[in-house]
Structure 1
Amino acid sequence: MPTAARRARGDTPPPRTAGGEAETLRGFLDYLRTSIAAKVEGAPEPQVRTAAVPSGTNLLGLLNHLAHVERATFLGEEVADWQATFRAAPDDGAADVLARYRDAVERANRVLDGCADLGAPLPRPRPGRPAPSVRWALVHLIEETGRHAGHADIIRELIDGATGR
């Protein structure tokens, strides 16, 4: 592990949300979204796109995948090949993938802002397929983002020793 490059980002505690279920779910999702983006910010090239494990997983691929998950879940976009979403394009830099991820999150949040009933289906176009409930979508994105944020924690530490959320 490169000790000269070791940077502790500080460990940010989980959000202390008040209010109801929707506020709590969205608070935790936003917390995880911020955590995964922070793992990619400042990661050096070419390590940000270099596979850290035999499966080929890398930081840019994880964030690229999560941008697709956000758009598929909240905006109804179709994904033909989920495995391909784990790879960023060769000419994409970290700033490009971060910008696309943040755009997907912003667009997803606009959809969520219009959803008052967690039990209602998401208002998204997806011909021939029922939309999941808002609650299911939020819990799914918390699980998916949290799982990949954990992967990113380990990969980032392997790259330059950076730890923390």
Structure 2
Amino acid sequence: MPSTAPRDTPPPRTGTSETEVLRGFLDYLRTSVAAKVAGAPEPRVRTAAVPSGTNLLGLLGHLTSVERAVFLGDDVTHWPATFRVAPADSVAEVVARYRETVARANDVLDGCTRLDAPVPRARPGRPAPSVRWALAHMIEETGRHAGHADILRELLDGTTGR
């Protein structure tokens, strides 16, 4: 039976600074996408619901990799592989790994005082993007995949809402 959230969560009303707005929207999207995956039924959470092969659990695995690359300096050499999670990884483990990565990324961002400064991460041979660019990119990336997750979850078990 489809379960619909009693109320859709509206976008946040954050502070007035550019940093507060950007971080507020990113955290809103992060929370939304993690909630969309949390509690999704096995094994359907791993089942491709679209011809591209995308599945709900893989989306969150990918977003974890993007967060780690942008804010923590991980070097991802094969992006398509980030959409696959290990068969032994449970939904709860993938969600927990995403939330832990987000917490670590936020720790990095907490130390950033200027949006035009580079993200403080070590990545030999590649300059770090500005904090502003990193936040804008992560809002775009997370928002895009949150929309995919909305559709995939509804196809999976009828759950809608943020």
Report the TM range for the smaller structure's normalisation.
over 0.9
Alignment of 1:33-52 (within 5 A): 33-52=30-49
Among residues 1, 7, 19, which one is paired with 2:3 in the alignment? 7
Q: Partner residue of 1:162? A: 159
Q: C-alpha offsets along residues 20-70 of structure 1, whole Å, 9 cap, x if unaligned?
A: 000000000000000000111111111111101011101110000000000
Q: Partner residue of 1:127? A: 124
Letter of the 2:110 partner, please give it.
D
Q: Percent identity?
A: 73
Once the 2 structures are TM-superposed, how far is the Cα of residue 19 of structure 1 from its aligned partner? 2.2
SS of residue in 2 equivalent to 1:7: coil
CA distance in 1, matches of 2:73, 2:40: 31
CA distance in 1, matches of 2:15, 2:128: 28
Please list every run of 5 or more consecutive structure 1 residues that lacks an aligned counterpart in the other structure.
none
Q: Partner residue of 1:18? A: 15
Alignment of 1:1-165 (within 5 A): 4=1, 6-9=2-5, 10-165=7-162
After TM superposition, the score normalised by the length of structure 1 is 0.96
User: Residue 39 of structure 2 contacts residue 92 of structure 2 at CA under 8 Å; is this kept in 1?
Assistant: no
Please list every run of 5 or more consecutive structure 2 residues that lacks an aligned counterpart in the other structure.
none
After TM superposition, the score normalised by the length of structure 2 is 0.98
Letter of the 1:147 partner, please give it.
R
CA distance in 1, matches of 2:46, 2:35: 15
CA distance in 1, matches of 2:89, 2:46: 10
